[in-house]
Amino acid sequence: MSKLSWPFTPQIRIALIAALFLMLTGNVKLFERLLDTYPLTLANTPFLLSLTLFFTLGTMLFLVLVTPGRVGRWILIFLLVASAQTAYYMDHFASVIDSVMLENVLATDIHEATGLMSWSLAWRTVVFGLIPAWLVWRYWPKSESLWREIVARLGLAMMLIAALVLVAAPFTAGYASFIREHKMVRRYANPTFFVSSIFSLIGEKLHRPYTGPLLSTAPDAHLLNPDRKKNLVIVVVGETARADRFSLNGYARPTNPLLAQEENAVSMTAVTSCGTSTNYSVPCMFSVLGRKHFSIKKAEQMENALDVLARLGVQILWRDNNSDSKGVATRVPYQNFKTSTHNPVCTEMECRDIGLLDKLDDYVASKKGQDMLIVLHQRGNHGPEYYLRYPKEFERFTPTCKDRDLRMCSQEEIDNAYDNAVLYTDYFLSEVIKFLKKHDDEYGTAMLYVSDHGESLGEYGIYLHATPYEFAPKEQTHVPGIIWLGTNFGYSAEQLKPLRDTPVSQDDMFCALLAGFEVGTKTCEGARNILPENLDLKRAGIAPGS
Protein backbone atom coordinates (compact mmCIF):
# COMPACT_ATOMS: atom_id res chain seq x y z
CA MET A 1 0.00 0.00 0.00
CA SER A 2 1.63 3.27 -1.11
CA LYS A 3 1.86 6.27 1.15
CA LEU A 4 -0.16 8.28 -1.35
CA SER A 5 -3.07 5.83 -1.20
CA TRP A 6 -3.13 5.64 2.60
CA PRO A 7 -5.64 5.94 4.17
CA PHE A 8 -7.77 5.82 1.03
CA THR A 9 -7.75 2.09 0.28
CA PRO A 10 -9.95 0.81 -2.57
CA GLN A 11 -12.57 -0.35 -0.09
CA ILE A 12 -12.54 2.97 1.73
CA ARG A 13 -12.96 4.88 -1.51
CA ILE A 14 -16.11 2.88 -2.27
CA ALA A 15 -17.41 3.52 1.26
CA LEU A 16 -16.84 7.26 0.85
CA ILE A 17 -18.54 7.31 -2.55
CA ALA A 18 -21.47 5.41 -1.02
CA ALA A 19 -21.66 7.98 1.79
CA LEU A 20 -21.91 10.84 -0.73
CA PHE A 21 -24.49 8.87 -2.72
CA LEU A 22 -26.62 8.31 0.39
CA MET A 23 -26.41 11.98 1.36
CA LEU A 24 -27.59 13.02 -2.10
CA THR A 25 -30.35 10.44 -2.61
CA GLY A 26 -31.39 9.33 0.88
CA ASN A 27 -31.52 12.53 2.89
CA VAL A 28 -33.90 14.79 1.00
CA LYS A 29 -36.23 14.96 4.00
CA LEU A 30 -33.33 15.78 6.32
CA PHE A 31 -32.37 18.80 4.22
CA GLU A 32 -36.01 19.85 3.90
CA ARG A 33 -36.33 19.83 7.68
CA LEU A 34 -33.07 21.74 8.06
CA LEU A 35 -34.36 24.43 5.70
CA ASP A 36 -37.67 24.53 7.58
CA THR A 37 -35.74 25.07 10.79
CA TYR A 38 -33.19 27.49 9.36
CA PRO A 39 -34.64 29.26 6.29
CA LEU A 40 -32.13 29.96 3.53
CA THR A 41 -31.07 33.50 4.34
CA LEU A 42 -27.70 35.21 4.16
CA ALA A 43 -27.40 34.97 7.93
CA ASN A 44 -28.28 31.27 8.09
CA THR A 45 -26.19 30.11 5.11
CA PRO A 46 -22.87 29.55 6.96
CA PHE A 47 -24.57 27.44 9.65
CA LEU A 48 -26.54 25.47 7.05
CA LEU A 49 -23.31 24.72 5.18
CA SER A 50 -21.74 23.64 8.46
CA LEU A 51 -24.67 21.31 9.22
CA THR A 52 -24.52 19.85 5.71
CA LEU A 53 -20.81 19.13 6.07
CA PHE A 54 -21.33 17.79 9.59
CA PHE A 55 -23.97 15.25 8.52
CA THR A 56 -21.94 14.29 5.43
CA LEU A 57 -18.73 13.78 7.40
CA GLY A 58 -20.70 11.87 10.04
CA THR A 59 -22.11 9.53 7.40
CA MET A 60 -18.62 9.01 5.97
CA LEU A 61 -17.28 8.23 9.44
CA PHE A 62 -20.07 5.74 10.03
CA LEU A 63 -19.54 3.86 6.76
CA VAL A 64 -15.76 3.85 7.15
CA LEU A 65 -16.09 2.21 10.56
CA VAL A 66 -18.72 -0.44 9.69
CA THR A 67 -17.58 -1.70 6.26
CA PRO A 68 -14.10 -3.30 6.63
CA GLY A 69 -13.15 -6.50 4.82
CA ARG A 70 -15.44 -9.03 3.18
CA VAL A 71 -18.26 -8.53 5.66
CA GLY A 72 -18.15 -4.83 4.85
CA ARG A 73 -19.47 -5.51 1.36
CA TRP A 74 -22.63 -7.16 2.75
CA ILE A 75 -23.12 -4.46 5.36
CA LEU A 76 -22.89 -1.79 2.66
CA ILE A 77 -25.31 -3.71 0.42
CA PHE A 78 -27.83 -3.89 3.26
CA LEU A 79 -27.43 -0.19 4.06
CA LEU A 80 -27.95 0.85 0.44
CA VAL A 81 -31.15 -1.15 0.01
CA ALA A 82 -32.54 -0.30 3.45
CA SER A 83 -31.65 3.37 3.09
CA ALA A 84 -33.48 3.57 -0.24
CA GLN A 85 -36.66 2.26 1.36
CA THR A 86 -36.20 4.38 4.47
CA ALA A 87 -35.80 7.47 2.30
CA TYR A 88 -38.98 6.61 0.43
CA TYR A 89 -41.11 6.51 3.58
CA MET A 90 -39.46 9.62 4.99
CA ASP A 91 -39.88 11.58 1.75
CA HIS A 92 -43.44 10.46 1.01
CA PHE A 93 -44.95 10.29 4.51
CA ALA A 94 -42.43 12.24 6.65
CA SER A 95 -42.18 9.06 8.74
CA VAL A 96 -39.38 8.68 11.27
CA ILE A 97 -37.88 5.20 11.26
CA ASP A 98 -37.26 4.78 14.97
CA SER A 99 -37.49 1.70 17.18
CA VAL A 100 -41.24 2.16 17.63
CA MET A 101 -41.75 2.27 13.86
CA LEU A 102 -39.57 -0.81 13.41
CA GLU A 103 -41.62 -2.58 16.10
CA ASN A 104 -44.73 -1.66 14.11
CA VAL A 105 -43.14 -3.17 11.00
CA LEU A 106 -42.52 -6.44 12.84
CA ALA A 107 -46.10 -6.44 14.12
CA THR A 108 -47.62 -5.64 10.70
CA ASP A 109 -49.41 -8.49 8.96
CA ILE A 110 -49.03 -9.22 5.25
CA HIS A 111 -52.31 -7.50 4.44
CA GLU A 112 -51.22 -4.22 6.02
CA ALA A 113 -47.74 -4.48 4.51
CA THR A 114 -49.21 -4.94 1.03
CA GLY A 115 -51.18 -1.73 1.49
CA LEU A 116 -47.91 0.19 1.85
CA MET A 117 -46.38 -1.19 -1.35
CA SER A 118 -46.38 0.94 -4.48
CA TRP A 119 -44.68 1.28 -7.83
CA SER A 120 -42.87 4.39 -6.64
CA LEU A 121 -41.43 2.36 -3.75
CA ALA A 122 -40.39 -0.36 -6.21
CA TRP A 123 -38.53 1.91 -8.61
CA ARG A 124 -36.97 3.84 -5.73
CA THR A 125 -35.68 0.58 -4.26
CA VAL A 126 -34.35 -0.62 -7.60
CA VAL A 127 -32.70 2.62 -8.77
CA PHE A 128 -31.30 3.87 -5.46
CA GLY A 129 -30.95 0.55 -3.65
CA LEU A 130 -30.60 -2.60 -5.68
CA ILE A 131 -28.53 -1.22 -8.58
CA PRO A 132 -25.94 0.46 -6.30
CA ALA A 133 -25.95 -2.68 -4.13
CA TRP A 134 -25.24 -4.82 -7.19
CA LEU A 135 -22.34 -2.53 -8.15
CA VAL A 136 -20.90 -2.93 -4.65
CA TRP A 137 -21.29 -6.71 -4.83
CA ARG A 138 -19.71 -6.81 -8.27
CA TYR A 139 -16.78 -4.43 -7.76
CA TRP A 140 -15.96 -4.68 -4.06
CA PRO A 141 -12.15 -5.02 -3.96
CA LYS A 142 -10.22 -7.47 -1.87
CA SER A 143 -8.11 -5.93 0.86
CA GLU A 144 -4.39 -6.60 0.81
CA SER A 145 -4.49 -7.17 4.54
CA LEU A 146 -7.40 -6.92 6.94
CA TRP A 147 -5.07 -5.52 9.58
CA ARG A 148 -3.82 -2.78 7.21
CA GLU A 149 -7.42 -2.08 6.17
CA ILE A 150 -8.46 -1.59 9.78
CA VAL A 151 -5.45 0.61 10.55
CA ALA A 152 -6.21 2.73 7.48
CA ARG A 153 -9.84 3.09 8.54
CA LEU A 154 -8.90 4.08 12.07
CA GLY A 155 -6.50 6.66 10.68
CA LEU A 156 -9.18 8.11 8.41
CA ALA A 157 -11.68 8.00 11.26
CA MET A 158 -9.39 10.23 13.34
CA MET A 159 -9.13 12.63 10.43
CA LEU A 160 -12.91 12.70 9.98
CA ILE A 161 -13.46 13.31 13.71
CA ALA A 162 -11.02 16.21 13.56
CA ALA A 163 -12.89 17.56 10.53
CA LEU A 164 -16.20 17.29 12.39
CA VAL A 165 -14.76 19.33 15.26
CA LEU A 166 -13.41 21.97 12.88
CA VAL A 167 -16.73 22.22 11.03
CA ALA A 168 -18.75 22.63 14.24
CA ALA A 169 -16.31 24.78 16.23
CA PRO A 170 -17.29 28.18 14.75
CA PHE A 171 -20.97 27.52 15.53
CA THR A 172 -20.94 26.00 19.01
CA ALA A 173 -23.94 28.03 20.16
CA GLY A 174 -25.89 27.04 17.06
CA TYR A 175 -25.09 23.35 17.52
CA ALA A 176 -26.01 23.50 21.20
CA SER A 177 -29.41 24.91 20.25
CA PHE A 178 -29.81 22.42 17.40
CA ILE A 179 -29.03 19.44 19.62
CA ARG A 180 -31.26 20.62 22.45
CA GLU A 181 -34.27 21.92 20.54
CA HIS A 182 -34.42 20.06 17.22
CA LYS A 183 -34.20 16.36 18.02
CA MET A 184 -36.86 15.57 15.45
CA VAL A 185 -34.74 16.93 12.60
CA ARG A 186 -31.80 14.71 13.53
CA ARG A 187 -34.02 11.65 13.32
CA TYR A 188 -34.20 12.07 9.55
CA ALA A 189 -30.45 11.39 9.19
CA ASN A 190 -30.23 8.36 6.89
CA PRO A 191 -28.82 5.73 7.45
CA THR A 192 -27.35 6.56 10.84
CA PHE A 193 -30.58 7.07 12.76
CA PHE A 194 -32.44 4.03 11.46
CA VAL A 195 -29.36 1.86 12.16
CA SER A 196 -29.25 3.12 15.74
CA SER A 197 -32.98 2.37 15.95
CA ILE A 198 -32.32 -1.20 14.82
CA PHE A 199 -29.83 -1.67 17.63
CA SER A 200 -32.24 -0.12 20.11
CA LEU A 201 -34.92 -2.57 19.03
CA ILE A 202 -32.50 -5.50 19.16
CA GLY A 203 -31.54 -4.47 22.67
CA GLU A 204 -35.19 -4.49 23.66
CA LYS A 205 -35.77 -7.89 22.04
CA LEU A 206 -32.70 -9.46 23.64
CA HIS A 207 -34.22 -8.96 27.05
CA ARG A 208 -35.55 -12.33 28.04
CA PRO A 209 -39.35 -12.34 28.00
CA TYR A 210 -40.95 -12.19 31.39
CA THR A 211 -41.77 -15.70 32.58
CA GLY A 212 -42.51 -15.01 36.22
CA PRO A 213 -45.95 -14.79 37.78
CA LEU A 214 -48.20 -12.08 36.40
CA LEU A 215 -48.18 -9.03 38.64
CA SER A 216 -51.60 -8.46 40.10
CA THR A 217 -53.18 -5.11 39.31
CA ALA A 218 -55.70 -3.72 41.79
CA PRO A 219 -55.49 -6.82 44.02
CA ASP A 220 -58.17 -5.37 46.30
CA ALA A 221 -60.68 -5.04 43.44
CA HIS A 222 -64.17 -6.21 44.37
CA LEU A 223 -67.74 -5.85 43.15
CA LEU A 224 -69.53 -3.23 45.22
CA ASN A 225 -73.00 -4.44 44.32
CA PRO A 226 -73.00 -8.08 43.13
CA ASP A 227 -76.80 -8.23 43.11
CA ARG A 228 -77.36 -5.34 40.67
CA LYS A 229 -78.66 -5.84 37.12
CA LYS A 230 -75.83 -7.25 35.04
CA ASN A 231 -74.05 -5.07 32.47
CA LEU A 232 -73.44 -5.66 28.78
CA VAL A 233 -70.69 -3.26 27.67
CA ILE A 234 -69.10 -3.03 24.23
CA VAL A 235 -65.77 -1.25 23.83
CA VAL A 236 -64.98 -0.36 20.23
CA VAL A 237 -61.27 0.25 19.71
CA GLY A 238 -61.07 2.45 16.64
CA GLU A 239 -58.20 2.68 14.20
CA THR A 240 -56.50 5.84 12.94
CA ALA A 241 -59.48 8.13 13.51
CA ARG A 242 -59.10 11.87 14.08
CA ALA A 243 -61.36 13.79 16.41
CA ASP A 244 -61.53 16.77 14.06
CA ARG A 245 -63.07 14.64 11.28
CA PHE A 246 -66.16 13.75 13.34
CA SER A 247 -69.12 16.04 12.71
CA LEU A 248 -70.19 15.33 16.31
CA ASN A 249 -67.14 17.41 17.24
CA GLY A 250 -67.94 20.31 14.92
CA TYR A 251 -66.52 19.11 11.58
CA ALA A 252 -68.40 20.81 8.76
CA ARG A 253 -69.01 17.67 6.75
CA PRO A 254 -71.79 15.32 7.94
CA THR A 255 -69.54 12.37 8.78
CA ASN A 256 -71.73 11.24 11.72
CA PRO A 257 -75.31 11.45 10.44
CA LEU A 258 -76.49 8.33 12.31
CA LEU A 259 -74.76 8.96 15.62
CA ALA A 260 -76.12 12.51 15.59
CA GLN A 261 -79.60 10.98 15.95
CA GLU A 262 -78.67 9.10 19.13
CA GLU A 263 -79.80 11.19 22.11
CA ASN A 264 -77.89 9.01 24.55
CA ALA A 265 -74.58 9.31 22.67
CA VAL A 266 -72.06 11.80 24.03
CA SER A 267 -68.98 12.72 22.04
CA MET A 268 -65.98 13.60 24.18
CA THR A 269 -64.24 16.31 22.18
CA ALA A 270 -60.93 16.56 24.07
CA VAL A 271 -59.56 13.00 24.19
CA THR A 272 -55.82 12.41 23.77
CA SER A 273 -54.18 9.13 22.90
CA CYS A 274 -51.48 7.29 24.79
CA GLY A 275 -49.34 6.82 21.70
CA THR A 276 -49.25 7.34 17.96
CA SER A 277 -49.28 3.69 16.88
CA THR A 278 -51.56 0.72 17.46
CA ASN A 279 -48.74 -1.34 18.90
CA TYR A 280 -48.32 1.18 21.72
CA SER A 281 -51.71 2.79 22.26
CA VAL A 282 -53.86 -0.33 22.46
CA PRO A 283 -52.03 -2.01 25.36
CA CYS A 284 -51.55 1.39 27.00
CA MET A 285 -55.25 2.25 27.07
CA PHE A 286 -56.09 -0.99 28.90
CA SER A 287 -53.14 -0.63 31.30
CA VAL A 288 -53.13 1.05 34.69
CA LEU A 289 -49.70 2.55 34.04
CA GLY A 290 -50.70 5.65 32.05
CA ARG A 291 -48.70 7.17 29.21
CA LYS A 292 -45.90 8.65 31.33
CA HIS A 293 -45.05 5.33 32.96
CA PHE A 294 -46.10 2.92 30.24
CA SER A 295 -43.78 0.55 28.42
CA ILE A 296 -44.69 -2.55 26.45
CA LYS A 297 -42.31 -4.59 28.60
CA LYS A 298 -43.95 -3.45 31.85
CA ALA A 299 -47.43 -4.04 30.46
CA GLU A 300 -46.58 -7.63 29.54
CA GLN A 301 -45.76 -8.36 33.18
CA MET A 302 -48.96 -7.17 34.79
CA GLU A 303 -52.70 -7.54 34.59
CA ASN A 304 -54.66 -5.11 32.45
CA ALA A 305 -58.27 -3.97 32.86
CA LEU A 306 -59.61 -7.06 31.09
CA ASP A 307 -57.68 -9.36 33.44
CA VAL A 308 -59.00 -7.57 36.52
CA LEU A 309 -62.60 -7.72 35.30
CA ALA A 310 -62.25 -11.37 34.29
CA ARG A 311 -60.93 -12.16 37.76
CA LEU A 312 -64.16 -10.71 39.17
CA GLY A 313 -66.35 -12.88 36.96
CA VAL A 314 -67.00 -10.50 34.05
CA GLN A 315 -67.20 -12.48 30.80
CA ILE A 316 -64.68 -11.03 28.33
CA LEU A 317 -64.60 -11.46 24.56
CA TRP A 318 -62.17 -9.78 22.13
CA ARG A 319 -63.09 -9.75 18.43
CA ASP A 320 -60.39 -8.43 16.14
CA ASN A 321 -60.54 -7.07 12.58
CA ASN A 322 -57.14 -5.39 12.92
CA SER A 323 -53.63 -6.73 13.37
CA ASP A 324 -54.30 -8.27 16.83
CA SER A 325 -54.83 -7.23 20.45
CA LYS A 326 -51.14 -6.33 20.99
CA GLY A 327 -51.02 -8.59 24.05
CA VAL A 328 -54.14 -7.23 25.75
CA ALA A 329 -56.32 -10.29 25.11
CA THR A 330 -53.64 -12.90 25.78
CA ARG A 331 -55.55 -14.38 28.72
CA VAL A 332 -59.16 -13.89 27.59
CA PRO A 333 -61.24 -15.39 24.74
CA TYR A 334 -60.09 -13.98 21.39
CA GLN A 335 -61.60 -14.31 17.90
CA ASN A 336 -59.92 -13.35 14.63
CA PHE A 337 -62.36 -11.59 12.29
CA LYS A 338 -59.79 -10.73 9.61
CA THR A 339 -60.79 -13.76 7.53
CA SER A 340 -64.05 -15.28 6.40
CA THR A 341 -63.65 -18.07 8.96
CA HIS A 342 -65.48 -15.88 11.48
CA ASN A 343 -66.33 -12.75 9.48
CA PRO A 344 -69.12 -13.26 6.91
CA VAL A 345 -68.68 -9.79 5.39
CA CYS A 346 -65.44 -10.06 3.45
CA THR A 347 -64.33 -8.88 0.02
CA GLU A 348 -61.30 -9.99 -1.96
CA MET A 349 -59.40 -7.12 -0.38
CA GLU A 350 -60.45 -7.27 3.28
CA CYS A 351 -63.15 -8.03 5.82
CA ARG A 352 -65.58 -5.34 6.95
CA ASP A 353 -65.96 -4.10 10.52
CA ILE A 354 -69.70 -4.77 10.46
CA GLY A 355 -68.90 -8.49 10.46
CA LEU A 356 -67.68 -8.13 14.06
CA LEU A 357 -71.34 -8.21 15.13
CA ASP A 358 -72.06 -11.55 13.48
CA LYS A 359 -73.62 -14.11 15.86
CA LEU A 360 -72.98 -11.82 18.79
CA ASP A 361 -76.54 -12.45 19.96
CA ASP A 362 -75.63 -16.13 20.31
CA TYR A 363 -72.68 -15.20 22.50
CA VAL A 364 -74.83 -13.01 24.75
CA ALA A 365 -77.40 -15.80 25.05
CA SER A 366 -74.67 -18.24 26.08
CA LYS A 367 -73.58 -15.91 28.92
CA LYS A 368 -77.11 -15.08 30.06
CA GLY A 369 -77.33 -13.46 33.47
CA GLN A 370 -73.63 -12.53 33.65
CA ASP A 371 -71.69 -9.31 33.30
CA MET A 372 -70.14 -9.05 29.83
CA LEU A 373 -67.47 -6.86 28.27
CA ILE A 374 -67.01 -7.27 24.52
CA VAL A 375 -64.12 -5.54 22.73
CA LEU A 376 -64.44 -4.95 18.98
CA HIS A 377 -61.12 -3.93 17.38
CA GLN A 378 -61.85 -2.09 14.14
CA ARG A 379 -60.10 -1.89 10.82
CA GLY A 380 -61.40 1.67 10.88
CA ASN A 381 -59.45 4.28 8.91
CA HIS A 382 -56.23 2.36 8.51
CA GLY A 383 -54.16 4.03 5.80
CA PRO A 384 -52.92 4.79 3.30
CA GLU A 385 -55.66 2.99 1.34
CA TYR A 386 -58.57 4.73 3.03
CA TYR A 387 -60.81 4.00 0.04
CA LEU A 388 -60.66 0.27 0.83
CA ARG A 389 -62.00 0.75 4.35
CA TYR A 390 -65.64 1.17 3.30
CA PRO A 391 -68.15 -0.33 0.83
CA LYS A 392 -68.88 1.57 -2.38
CA GLU A 393 -72.23 2.84 -1.11
CA PHE A 394 -70.41 4.88 1.55
CA GLU A 395 -68.37 6.81 -1.02
CA ARG A 396 -70.35 10.00 -0.47
CA PHE A 397 -67.45 12.41 -0.83
CA THR A 398 -65.74 12.32 -4.22
CA PRO A 399 -63.30 12.22 -5.94
CA THR A 400 -61.27 9.90 -3.74
CA CYS A 401 -57.59 8.98 -3.55
CA LYS A 402 -57.03 5.45 -4.82
CA ASP A 403 -53.24 5.49 -4.79
CA ARG A 404 -51.09 3.99 -2.07
CA ASP A 405 -48.71 6.88 -2.58
CA LEU A 406 -50.73 9.68 -0.99
CA ARG A 407 -48.51 12.35 -2.49
CA MET A 408 -49.83 11.36 -5.91
CA CYS A 409 -53.31 12.49 -4.84
CA SER A 410 -54.73 15.93 -4.29
CA GLN A 411 -55.57 17.06 -0.77
CA GLU A 412 -59.25 16.95 -1.69
CA GLU A 413 -59.00 13.31 -2.80
CA ILE A 414 -57.21 12.29 0.40
CA ASP A 415 -59.73 14.11 2.58
CA ASN A 416 -62.66 12.57 0.72
CA ALA A 417 -61.40 9.00 1.06
CA TYR A 418 -60.60 9.48 4.73
CA ASP A 419 -63.97 11.10 5.49
CA ASN A 420 -65.82 8.28 3.73
CA ALA A 421 -64.08 5.82 6.06
CA VAL A 422 -65.25 7.90 9.05
CA LEU A 423 -68.77 7.78 7.59
CA TYR A 424 -68.57 3.97 7.58
CA THR A 425 -67.42 3.98 11.21
CA ASP A 426 -70.50 6.10 11.99
CA TYR A 427 -72.64 3.36 10.45
CA PHE A 428 -70.79 0.63 12.31
CA LEU A 429 -71.14 2.35 15.68
CA SER A 430 -74.84 2.96 15.05
CA GLU A 431 -75.23 -0.78 14.42
CA VAL A 432 -73.39 -1.53 17.68
CA ILE A 433 -75.90 0.71 19.47
CA LYS A 434 -78.82 -1.04 17.73
CA PHE A 435 -77.44 -4.34 18.96
CA LEU A 436 -77.22 -3.09 22.53
CA LYS A 437 -80.73 -1.63 22.43
CA LYS A 438 -82.09 -5.14 21.81
CA HIS A 439 -80.69 -6.17 25.20
CA ASP A 440 -81.46 -2.96 27.07
CA ASP A 441 -84.33 -4.39 29.10
CA GLU A 442 -82.31 -7.30 30.41
CA TYR A 443 -78.92 -5.61 30.94
CA GLY A 444 -77.38 -2.30 31.74
CA THR A 445 -75.98 -1.56 28.30
CA ALA A 446 -73.24 0.83 27.24
CA MET A 447 -70.82 1.47 24.38
CA LEU A 448 -67.45 3.18 24.62
CA TYR A 449 -65.69 4.07 21.38
CA VAL A 450 -62.16 5.46 21.31
CA SER A 451 -59.61 5.44 18.53
CA ASP A 452 -56.12 4.15 19.23
CA HIS A 453 -54.45 7.18 17.61
CA GLY A 454 -55.03 9.76 14.92
CA GLU A 455 -53.62 10.32 11.45
CA SER A 456 -51.71 12.99 9.54
CA LEU A 457 -53.21 13.73 6.13
CA GLY A 458 -50.51 15.99 4.74
CA GLU A 459 -50.38 18.69 7.41
CA TYR A 460 -46.80 19.99 7.70
CA GLY A 461 -45.88 17.53 4.94
CA ILE A 462 -46.57 14.54 7.24
CA TYR A 463 -48.71 11.53 6.35
CA LEU A 464 -49.98 8.50 8.28
CA HIS A 465 -48.95 8.18 11.96
CA ALA A 466 -46.33 6.78 14.41
CA THR A 467 -44.44 10.06 14.69
CA PRO A 468 -42.58 10.04 18.04
CA TYR A 469 -45.09 11.26 20.62
CA GLU A 470 -43.00 14.19 21.84
CA PHE A 471 -42.97 15.59 18.29
CA ALA A 472 -46.30 14.30 17.03
CA PRO A 473 -48.79 16.84 15.67
CA LYS A 474 -52.20 16.99 17.34
CA GLU A 475 -53.71 15.27 14.30
CA GLN A 476 -52.06 12.06 15.53
CA THR A 477 -52.88 12.41 19.25
CA HIS A 478 -56.33 14.08 19.34
CA VAL A 479 -58.73 11.17 18.96
CA PRO A 480 -62.50 10.72 19.02
CA GLY A 481 -64.22 9.25 22.05
CA ILE A 482 -67.94 8.46 22.18
CA ILE A 483 -70.02 7.06 25.02
CA TRP A 484 -73.53 5.70 24.56
CA LEU A 485 -75.53 4.61 27.61
CA GLY A 486 -78.66 2.49 27.74
CA THR A 487 -81.60 3.24 30.00
CA ASN A 488 -80.59 0.78 32.75
CA PHE A 489 -76.87 1.43 33.05
CA GLY A 490 -76.95 3.11 36.46
CA TYR A 491 -76.30 6.65 35.34
CA SER A 492 -77.42 8.53 32.28
CA ALA A 493 -75.96 10.27 29.27
CA GLU A 494 -77.31 13.53 30.71
CA GLN A 495 -74.74 13.22 33.49
CA LEU A 496 -71.98 12.95 30.90
CA LYS A 497 -73.01 15.83 28.65
CA PRO A 498 -71.51 18.55 30.88
CA LEU A 499 -68.16 16.79 30.47
CA ARG A 500 -68.29 16.89 26.66
CA ASP A 501 -65.38 19.33 26.38
CA THR A 502 -63.47 18.21 29.49
CA PRO A 503 -59.91 17.08 28.66
CA VAL A 504 -59.55 13.32 29.14
CA SER A 505 -57.07 10.76 27.89
CA GLN A 506 -56.72 7.06 27.32
CA ASP A 507 -55.07 6.96 30.76
CA ASP A 508 -58.59 7.30 32.21
CA MET A 509 -59.90 4.18 30.51
CA PHE A 510 -58.65 1.60 33.03
CA CYS A 511 -60.61 3.04 35.95
CA ALA A 512 -63.57 4.00 33.80
CA LEU A 513 -64.03 0.36 32.78
CA LEU A 514 -63.81 -0.80 36.39
CA ALA A 515 -66.24 1.88 37.53
CA GLY A 516 -68.65 0.88 34.79
CA PHE A 517 -68.96 -2.53 36.45
CA GLU A 518 -69.05 -0.95 39.93
CA VAL A 519 -65.67 -2.31 40.96
CA GLY A 520 -64.16 -0.86 44.11
CA THR A 521 -60.38 -0.55 44.44
CA LYS A 522 -57.89 1.83 46.01
CA THR A 523 -56.01 1.79 42.71
CA CYS A 524 -58.66 4.09 41.27
CA GLU A 525 -58.99 6.48 44.17
CA GLY A 526 -59.47 10.06 43.03
CA ALA A 527 -62.12 11.23 40.56
CA ARG A 528 -61.51 10.57 36.88
CA ASN A 529 -62.59 13.18 34.33
CA ILE A 530 -64.30 10.61 32.14
CA LEU A 531 -66.96 10.14 34.85
CA PRO A 532 -69.67 12.65 35.75
CA GLU A 533 -69.04 14.61 38.90
CA ASN A 534 -72.56 13.96 40.22
CA LEU A 535 -72.15 10.19 39.99
CA ASP A 536 -71.91 8.53 43.38
CA LEU A 537 -68.12 8.17 43.13
CA LYS A 538 -67.73 6.46 46.49
CA ARG A 539 -70.21 3.79 45.49
CA ALA A 540 -68.40 3.33 42.18
CA GLY A 541 -65.19 2.74 44.05
CA ILE A 542 -63.09 5.56 42.68
CA ALA A 543 -63.13 7.99 45.56
CA PRO A 544 -61.10 7.99 48.77
CA GLY A 545 -62.62 5.75 51.37
CA SER A 546 -64.22 3.35 48.92
CB count, 10 Å around CB of 135?
A: 15
Residue 178 CA to residue 51 CA, distance in Å, equals 10
Q: What's the pLDDT at 461?
A: 84
Residue 502 CA to residue 269 CA, distance in Å, equals 8
Q: What's the pLDDT at 511?
A: 92
CB count, 10 Å around CB of 57?
A: 21
Separation in Å, CA 5 to CA 8, 13, 68, 160, 448: 5, 10, 16, 16, 69
What are 207-216's contacts with CB under 8 Å, separation 24+?
A: 207/297, 209/300, 210/297, 210/300, 210/301, 212/301, 214/301, 214/302, 214/303, 214/307, 214/331, 215/301, 215/302, 215/303, 216/302, 216/303
Name the phi and psi angles at 417, rounded to 5.
-65, -45
Q: What's the pLDDT at 149?
A: 85
Return the amino acid letter for 44. N
- CATH homologous superfamily, domain 222-540: Alkaline Phosphatase, subunit A (3.40.720.10)
Residue 335 CA to residue 374 CA, distance in Å, equals 11
DSSP code for 352: -
Q: What's the pLDDT at 139?
A: 92
Where in the chain are all domains bearing CATH 3.40.720.10?
Answer: 222-540
- pLDDT per residue, tens digit, the chain (546 aa), is 444 455 788 999 999 999 999 999 999 999 998 998 899 999 899 999 999 999 999 999 999 999 998 899 999 999 999 999 999 988 888 788 887 778 777 776 666 666 677 888 899 999 999 999 999 999 999 877 778 888 899 999 999 999 999 999 998 878 877 886 777 788 899 999 989 888 887 876 675 555 668 899 999 999 998 989 999 999 999 999 999 999 999 999 999 999 999 999 999 999 999 999 999 999 999 999 999 999 988 999 999 999 999 999 999 999 999 988 999 999 999 999 988 888 999 887 789 999 999 999 999 999 999 999 999 999 999 988 999 999 999 999 999 999 877 888 999 999 999 999 999 999 999 999 999 999 999 999 999 999 999 999 999 888 899 888 988 999 999 999 999 999 988 778 888 888 899 999 999 999 999 999 999 999 988 755 455 443 443 334 433 333
